[in-house]
Homo-oligomer: A and B are copies of this chain.
Amino acid sequence: MPSDPAARAGAILEIDLGAIVANWRLLAKKAAPAACAAVVKANGYGLGAAPVARALAAEGCRRFFVATLDEGIALRGELGAEPEIAVFNGPLPGSAAEFVAARLTPVLNDPDQIETWERVATPDQRAAMIHIDTGLARLGLSPAEFETCLETIRALDITALISHLACAEDPAHPLNALQRERFIAARRRLPGVKASLAASSGICLGRRFRFDAVRPGAALYGVNPLPGRPNPMRAAVRLGAKILQLRKIDSGESVGYGAAHIMDGPGLLATAAIGYADGWPRSLSHRGCGWLAGTRVPLLGRVSMDLATFDVSAAAPAELYPGNTIELIGDHYGVDDAAADAATIGYEILTALGSRYHRVYHEPPTESLLAG
């Protein structure tokens, strides 16, 4: 019996590695002469750290960032020995030796992590990054801690001094300039060390924020780095869910859990094989939509665990059959649109993308490999 994963799956996620590579190239060109890394934490923002990082490494990316040690170990296995893989969270107590073993660069965020790394690092594996807090108040050394640790830091092999902007999505926010000033002050204390402040949105704040290296994440995957302005990035994902069943419904009848939607006229409903267990957020209830062959089909009632119901009354009759696909992320409705309807940000829409999708990866065109 032939077994077809695409036929079995209720929903299909297409990931355009060519778009991700093109986005990286665009950002790298914009940031030059600063070097351009790639952030592939959270499983490549939900799209698959391994295929994304392999495609970007083939394009010439030489530095990757992940969040956790486990992500770093897995990525080292995928990429081989060469690229630098930095781990934002740094070593948790008891885990520093595993950074050495996997040749990972810890981001050292506090005096404990610095002291541990100074003790555990080996002569040929001393690379580390130093993270200073300039106003996000999340991870990173305070100015006083930075001063206290300076001698130890200078004895390590520091591949970058980094910090992270809190408000880069809002170019007018005064904290951006303040963080930049604090970052420059710290950088003066480590002459010769490369500096990196900007992630996706920070790159768009201009040359003064780019320093020696930038590290885009969300923009690689198509999220708009400056919300409210035209999005310069290419969309990297398409998501479609198959129609399981069509039904006519009368005016006054209710739809879904809690009988929370009441029809104000007769209609035609399509129930599709996607729900919040697939990461299609329940907060899209009553507000989200899909697209059926170019026609907007509103989501009715509550998103349930495995299913969502759409009003397909306006769709072309020829498109109304079980197995046909309602587009949920695509040309008509992007990641940022879904995020707006779900009262969140595109980053969360991406990282929530679920494990039941049949995933199809579109490889970059061959010429991009030659252009690297």
Q: Residues of A with Cβ closer than 8 Å to B?
A: 1, 3-5, 7-10, 41-43, 45-46, 67-71, 73, 88-90, 92-95, 97-98, 101, 109-110, 112-113, 133, 135-140, 142, 166-167, 169-170, 173, 175, 242, 244-249, 253-259, 269, 271, 273, 275-277, 279, 281-283, 304-307, 309, 322-323, 343-345, 347-348, 351-352, 355-356
Contact = CB atoms under 8 A, between A and B. Distances in A.
Given A90-B244, A136-B257, A138-B256, 12 more contacts: A1-B98, A8-B92, A9-B68, A45-B277, A92-B273, A94-B323, A137-B256, A137-B269, A170-B258, A276-B352, A279-B352, A282-B345
B137 A92 contact: no
Contacts of A101: 1
A242 B139 CA distance: 13
A6 B13 CA distance: 32
A259 B166 CA distance: 6
A148 to B, nearest CB: 14
A255 to B, nearest CB: 5
Contacts of A273: 68, 89, 92
A347 B41 contact: no
Nearest to A90: B244
Given A98-B1, A137-B255, A41 B277 contact: yes
8 contacts: A5-B70, A88-B306, A89-B307, A110-B246, A169-B258, A281-B348, A283-B283, A355-B355
Contact of A305 (B73, B256, B347): B347
Nearest to A140: B245
> What is the oligomeric copy number?
2
Contacts of A276: 347-348, 351-352
Among the interface residues A46, A244, A322, which one has the most CB atoms of the partner chain B within 10 A?
A244
* Shortest Cβ-Cβ A-B pairs, 6 listed: A42-B277, A93-B323, A67-B306, A277-B351, A7-B94, A137-B255
A313 to B, nearest CB: 14
Contacts of A68: 8-10, 273, 306, 356
Contact of A95 (B8, B70, B88, B281): B8
A328 to B, nearest CB: 17
A244 B1 contact: no
Contacts of A7: 92-95
A140 B245 CA distance: 8
Contact of A1 (B97, B305, B322, B356): B97
A203 B133 CA distance: 53
Contact of A42 (B167, B254, B306): B306
A307 B138 contact: yes
A345 B277 CA distance: 12
